[in-house]
Chain A
Amino acid sequence: AQSVTQPDIHITVSEGASLELRCNYSYGATPYLFWYVQSPGQGLQLLLKYFSGDTLVQGIKGFEAEFKRSQSSFNLRKPSVHWSDAAEYFCAVGDPTGGSYIPTFGRGTSLIVHP
């Protein structure tokens, strides 16, 4: 079965600084990969997804992520963080062999933004 590891429980950055959130997956082939964001008191919202093709994917709110097969990683990046980006970020993986895009989530990384 597929699984996801987000090694950082909390990340603190200053507003305007760049951001990288780490995600590693365990899967025998190329999985479906997702990043979701959860603001306080809200449900999860899809930022971006990777199924195939270009390994650098662009998402909403200025986020991007890069799929690196050799490292089994799908790290999320943003060049300049805004205070409104403070939230919980979840990496997730789906199983293409079953045609399932149903995500299995990592435990999340909490992003704290200092002014």
Chain B
Amino acid sequence: DAMVIQNPRYQVTQFGKPVTLSCSQTLNHNVMYWYQQKSSQAPKLLFHYYDKDFNNEADTPDNFQSRRPNTSFCFLDIRSPGLGDAAMYLCATSREGKDEKLFFGSGTQLSVL
């Protein structure tokens, strides 16, 4: 089945140690998103790509970066994780267009020790 796959399901890192989260898709969608979801809070958009065009939300910390080497893959890099960055990170995709829904992966739960 076509889907959005996030690896790993759980990620543990140390305070200040760089970490990369991965997302891949078999839907051939041109738009990809990264959301941060903290416990009991709304998913918050960090950034998204229209093809290779990167769109950063204004309040996304500089500590968060992203790469999209091709249509299928997208990475979230946290350069120096702090305790406050512990959260569920959700990747989503969509086809560009007004009437398209987002398809989400199952998320990566990041813990920072």
Question: Which residues of A are interface residues toward B (Cβ below 8 A)?
Answer: 4, 9, 34, 41-46, 49, 51, 90, 99, 101-108
Contact = CB atoms under 8 A, between A and B. Distances in A.
Interface string B89-113: 0101010001111101111000000
A8 to B, nearest CB: 13
Contacts of A103: 102
A41 B106 CA distance: 7
Interface residues of B, number: 22
Nearest to B45: A102
A106 B42 contact: yes
The secondary-structure label for the interface of chain A is: strand
A44 B90 contact: yes
Contacts of B106: 41-43
B42 A43 contact: no
Given A41-B106, A43-B104, A43-B107, A51 B43 contact: no
Contact of A45 (B42, B94, B100, B104): B104
Given A44-B92, A101-B100, 17 more contacts: A41-B106, A43-B4, A43-B90, A43-B92, A43-B105, A43-B107, A44-B102, A51-B98, A51-B99, A99-B98, A101-B94, A101-B98, A101-B99, A102-B33, A102-B45, A107-B40, A107-B41
A4 B43 CA distance: 12
B2 to A, nearest CB: 14
Contacts of B99: 51, 101
Contacts of A45: 104
Given A102-B33, A102-B48, A44 B43 contact: yes
27 contacts: A34-B101, A41-B106, A43-B4, A43-B90, A43-B92, A43-B104, A43-B106, A44-B43, A44-B102, A44-B104, A45-B104, A49-B101, A51-B98, A51-B99, A90-B42, A99-B98, A101-B98, A101-B99, A102-B48, A102-B102, A104-B42, A105-B42, A105-B44, A106-B42, A107-B40, A107-B41, A107-B42
